[in-house]
Amino acid sequence: MPQTEEVQLHVDDDLKEQWDKYNSLKSKQASLADFWGIKYIHVSRDKFVAKMPITDKIRQPYGRLHGGASVAFAETIASVAALFWIDIEKEGAVGLEINANHVRPVGEGYIFGTGTPIHIGKKTQVWSVDIKDERGKLVCIFRCTVSIIPKDQGKPRNNSKL
């Protein structure tokens, strides 16, 4: 997919209300996805696709995509995709465990991540994310266990002792 080609977002009809709720939640603060230019392309229960430009913000000193950026991109896909299986007014989705294999370097253009659910439970979900370059070549294989938590759990506390 050429980087100059703009891709239109597809959201399955049954998820449009949930997508609006997510965007309302997301609009309250800037996120890593905003900072790195992550754009969502396809939203459905069986497939969640996003793209991210490779910029100097996320390159190693050698000019290659930083492996940590691939992991953060994939975890973003898994965590956001998990929201479409829960009540986001009451629950949140956060990464619990991640595993990534970086199989090919890439240094420019866009990468595309496709998340697919492996397990959808009440307290955990497991997502697989394949990251590919613009030529469709595999860059990273990623698996993430997502924890489903009460929305107010895990908020940072103001602890003056730290």
To the query of whether residue 108 is one of the catalytic residues in this protein, the response is: no
Among 5, 6, 17, 75, the active-site one is 75
Q: Is 141 helix (H, G, I), strand (E, B) or coil?
A: strand
Give, as one character, the DSSP assignment of residue 154. Answer: T
Q: Is 41 helix (H, G, I), strand (E, B) or coil?
A: strand
- AA letter at 109: G
Q: Which of 149, 15, 3, 140 is nearest to 74 (CA)?
A: 140
Tell me the catalytic residues.
75
